[in-house]
A and B are shown apart, each in its own frame.
Chain A
Amino acid sequence: MRVKVISRSADEFTRERSNDLQRVSRNYDPNLRTQEKAVEYVRALNAAKLDKVFARPFIGAMDGHVDAISCMAKNPSHLKGVFSGSMDGDIRLWDIASRKTVCQYPGHQGAVRGLSVSTDGRILVSCGSDCTVRLWRVPLASGIESDDSSDSSDKTLASYVWKNAFWAVDHQWEGNLFATAGGSQVDIWDHNRSQPVNSFGWGNDTVISVRFNPGEPNVLATSSSDRSIAIYDLRTSSAAIKVTMTTKTNSIAWNPMEPMNFTAANENCNCYSYDARKLPEAKCVHKDHVSAVMDIDYSPTGREFVTGSYDRTVRIFQYNGGHSREIYHTKRMQRVFCVKFSCDASYVISGSDDTNLRLWKAKASEQLGVILPRERKKHEYMEAVKNRYKHLPEVKRILRHRHLPKPIYKAGLLRRTMADAEKRKEDRRRAHSAPGSMPRKSIRKNKIIQVIE
């Protein structure tokens, strides 16, 4: 006969000294943990509630400008630095960590309309309604310290005067060129030339925004006030393709991880994501704003983008999501004219009519600061269970809920009513017309009038 019974000695399962860690033994047998799914569901619910509790996205406002902020630029080689330009011609460099002005660049006579930084982070290009393009020297990252002297002589590199007022500027991702939009044309400039090296035009209307493609240095997209988006290639003499829509595009952003895709921020409260290779149809329509979308910027991850709107809110969208993931607003924030995602994808900066730059967290309930591995694992687990049970009504309700300012909520309701009415009317028209004479047009196509190549 062989007999064996379970026999444990306490020494194996308890610690030897009081400053040792407690011993842990694991057994992953599902029979020991009953009702796993119910427990996970409760954890998901708790995680969703905690998310709401800790959702404090606003970090702080950066005060200093005396007029509305019209444009911003981030420094690709320096994480903390952000440039902002205002309607009174003031350009400032901000240190995001301390939320203070590092230096100012006086010089512009009218509003600053566009700001852009070269890829090496040495040169800042600005343009404005005073018909000048100015190149500035950016202080080195190591030497950044608060310096309030407005002595501009050591900062100015060049100042070029041109025929028309400028609306936007963008620097090439790799290379020495930058493009300005102004009048009815796009001008391509070199750092060292006082006149544009090249000019493109298509039609007579003002070009209002320009953005270089992050993957292909010679490709750029512009939008103009004749409601069109045009894509140019610097190696050819004319535009490659032009789409005309029923609404004006205020700003364009290329997806940095999928450089063939770009998203246009439109006057009709929507954003349209396009594949530059297949223009007759938008890839996705992002709805939620209740007033014109003024600016858009992609996260460096390419998975989401931020938009600022005339309705005084900032929203964050998934690159493929029809509705916003997040909405940010404060009582004091006025019309948002420019937004930027920080280069580490964890902050969002908005500049608005009320002369302030505002700093937001990209994930509203994210914990800032150093997170120890165990805590991070816990966060990851919570995220996973939340994701697993997000379709259940209770969890969904909590995760979706956002407090909206009353005017925006009301405007949203009104917009929905209008859209419903329009749809109803169209349905009735369709029902009373000859079958097939009024084909249904997809929402991704129906704002596009024509595509010219």
Chain B
Amino acid sequence: MEIQHDVSDELEIKVKKYQRGEAADLESLKDKKLKGQLANKEELFKRSANAAAKAEKWLMQTEEGRLEPEGLEKTWRFNQQSIANEVDVASRKNQFDLVLPDLGPYTLDYTSSGRYMLSAGRKGHLSIIDLHSLKPIKDMQVRETVRDAVFLHNELFFAAAQKKYTYIYNRAGTELHCLKEHGAVLKLQFLKNHFLLSSINKSGHLHYQDITTGQMIGNYRSRLGRSDVLQHNPYNSVLASGHSGGTVRMWKPTSQAPLVEMLCHRGPVTAIAFHPNGHLMATAGMDKKLKIWDLRTYKPVQTLPGLAKSIDFSQKGMLATSTGSFVQVLATSDSQDYGRYMIHTMAKGYQINKVLFRPYEDVLGIGHSSGLSSILIPGSGEPNFDSWVANPYETVKQRREKEVRVLLDKLPPESIMLDPTQIGNLRNSRKKEKPTKEETEAEKEAAVAAAKNVSIKKKTKGRSKPSKVARKKQEGIEQAKRSFVEQNEDGVMKKKQKRVTDTSDLPIALQPFVSRKAT
């Protein structure tokens, strides 16, 4: 009996994942036909979510990684050596150190399937490594400063932000394009659903370029000076840039003004990361704080002490932070709070430049001043991939087919918005329910009639003269009418006042920027 109960509970949790939010409230609907149709649809959604949850058992065969302490053991006491002793040989291959002391510090990027790694040394060393065979596919030296490098939609192409311009190379190392319009880029991001290459350059300009057509989609000035913190939210493809004043701005390619501007730190922002479900954002600042924000309310849910140079969320929601030569991985248990999960210390003197979780593996990649490292973080990666989304074992033919498919599904830049589920929904009507003219008229008449019927008390002699009574009644009627006119005006007045006081309803992080927007 107990076991059965547990099983149904477990299934319920799984179903929730596939339901994509709450069901619509149909009770308030008046149209019976529509209600019936929508009820049928909800039933269908429910059935498909149930089917997906039940199929999990058969479809998702690979087991999730985990680290379970026994007794008084703590997870963060385990070092890489002890983990390596416990795991199988194939996984041990994922722990490696590439010592490249001459051309660092290194930054790195993975393809969306996690099979290929692109590493870029500051002094011009670019290489692509196949992580299954651990063989370099291409190793090249561009003899120029390389500030950042990202893969484009597959491992065949990558973009590198070099000293003066950004270049696009193919896997063989041939330069395909020189993107001069971007300027001296500090940080690159590729939005894979939209095929947009976005960058922030030395003078704080944000560029969006469509790499299928070469068209420059957006070119916006941040006006907040130099910044090398740029990260896209995988949930809605909104870009976030962190600035020296402690502000974080969120951008879409179709508007000049940022979508959101929030004050996150009392000091420059050093890094931003997004949870894969899109609701959490982590920011790190020079004020020695790491904050985790809820993007639905724009309020910090947790503030942790400590300086972080680079942060990243894993697919399962673990958060890696790095300072100096020290890496810390935070994880949530059942409660919302992030706590220490694992730590890792590099050799002394290594300065970590970037930490990045490898998709679909329990691996954290580290780019540092003298090379690249890769360490095992059990339980960080999604164990089951989907062949149609990202396949680590993709063949050439599959890759070609996928390229065609994703190009057909390429999203227009307008589809980038804070809430991507808004597409296809009706806009809420802005009009408020105003009483119609007849209704107000009727109300007024009723008020006047009520004023007429008021019985006036008998007062002392001389005060209840018929003329005085009549005047009083007339005054009452006037009052009733006037109050009605005033009420209307009051409504307008209240509205105006509300707009001014709106600020106090906003979360603190957004408040400083409201007045500026209004002007």
**A residues within 8 Å of B by Cβ?**
1-10, 13-14, 22-35, 37-43, 46, 388-389, 392
Contact = CB atoms under 8 A, between A and B. Distances in A.
B68 interface: yes
A38 B237 CA distance: 11
Contacts of B412: 42
* Residue from A27, A39, A392 having most chain B Cβ neighbours under 10 A: A27
Contacts of B499: none
Given A5-B376, A6-B64, A9-B90, A32 B389 contact: yes
A152 to B, nearest CB: 56
B510 to A, nearest CB: 24
Contacts of B87: 3-5, 7
A393 to B, nearest CB: 11
The 10 closest A-B pairs by CB, nearest first: A38-B415, A3-B86, A5-B65, A5-B362, A27-B386, A37-B423, A2-B68, A27-B384, A13-B393, A24-B387
A27 B378 contact: no
Given A2-B66, A7-B88, A25-B386, A34 B424 contact: no
Contacts of A389: 424
22 contacts: A1-B86, A3-B87, A4-B65, A4-B66, A4-B87, A4-B378, A7-B90, A9-B90, A10-B393, A24-B388, A28-B52, A28-B386, A29-B17, A33-B389, A34-B236, A35-B193, A35-B236, A38-B193, A41-B415, A43-B409, A46-B408, A392-B424
B300 interface: no
A35 B411 contact: yes
B235 A34 contact: yes
A26 B386 CA distance: 4
Contacts of B235: 34-35
Contacts of B424: 37, 40-41, 388-389, 392
B236 A6 contact: no
Given A27-B382, A29-B382, A41-B424, A6 B237 contact: no
A26 B236 CA distance: 23
B476 interface: no
Given A1-B68, A29-B17, A6 B411 contact: no
Contacts of A25: 59, 61, 384-387
A8 B391 CA distance: 13
A10 B62 CA distance: 12
A25 B60 CA distance: 8
A24 B66 CA distance: 25
Interface string B69-104: 110010000100011001110110010000000000
Contacts of B415: 35, 38, 41-42
Contacts of B65: 4-6
B324 interface: no
A37 B421 contact: yes
Say whether chain A's binding surface is mostly helix, strand, loop, or mixed: loop
Contacts of A30: 17-18, 20
B420 A37 contact: yes
Contacts of A46: 408
Majority DSSP secondary structure for residues of B touching A: loop
A1 B64 CA distance: 16
A400 B276 CA distance: 39
A3 B378 contact: yes
A6 B361 contact: yes
A37 B235 CA distance: 12
B376 A27 contact: no
B381 interface: yes
A40 to B, nearest CB: 8
B83, B234, B277, B393 — most chain A CB neighbours (10 Å): B393
B395 interface: yes
Contacts of A34: 193, 234-237, 278, 420
B409 A3 contact: no
Given A4-B65, A37-B420, A27 B385 contact: yes
Interface in B415-432: 415, 420-421, 423-424
Contacts of A27: 59-60, 382, 384-386, 389
A7 B73 CA distance: 24
A6 B90 contact: no
Given A5-B91, A42-B412, A32 B386 contact: yes
A26 B17 contact: no
Contacts of B18: 28, 30
B383 interface: yes
B410 interface: yes
Contacts of A32: 382, 386, 389-390
Nearest to B90: A7
B7 to A, nearest CB: 20
Nearest to A41: B423
Contacts of A7: 87-88, 90-91
Contact of A2 (B70, B88, B132, B237): B70
B63 interface: yes
Interface string B26-65: 0000000000000000000000000010010001111111
B67 interface: yes
Contacts of A5: 65, 83, 87, 91, 94, 362, 376, 378
Contacts of A23: 387, 393
A5 B358 CA distance: 13
B341 interface: no
B382 A26 contact: no
Contact of A14 (B70, B382, B393): B393
Given A5-B87, A10-B132, A33-B389, 8 more contacts: A3-B87, A4-B64, A6-B361, A26-B55, A28-B55, A38-B411, A41-B415, A42-B412
Contacts of A13: 392-393
A21 B376 CA distance: 33
A388 B78 CA distance: 52
Contacts of A41: 415, 423-424
A41 B411 CA distance: 9
A3 B59 contact: no
Nearest to A46: B408
Contacts of B66: 2-4
A43 B193 CA distance: 13
A38 B418 CA distance: 13
A27 B393 CA distance: 15
Contacts of A9: 90
A188 B395 CA distance: 73
A6 B381 contact: yes
Contacts of A40: 424
Nearest to A32: B389
A24 to B, nearest CB: 5
A1 B69 contact: yes
A289 to B, nearest CB: 28
B106 interface: no
Contact of B67 (A3, A24, A26): A3
B79 to A, nearest CB: 12
B398 interface: yes
A13 to B, nearest CB: 4
A446 B38 CA distance: 34
Contacts of B392: 8, 13
A154 B110 CA distance: 82
A46 B410 CA distance: 11
Contacts of B382: 27, 29, 32
A8 B398 CA distance: 20
A33 to B, nearest CB: 6
B360 interface: yes
Nearest to A10: B393
A3 B83 CA distance: 7
A103 B470 CA distance: 102
Interface string B232-254: 00111100000000000000000
Contacts of B69: 1
Contacts of B393: 10, 13-14, 23
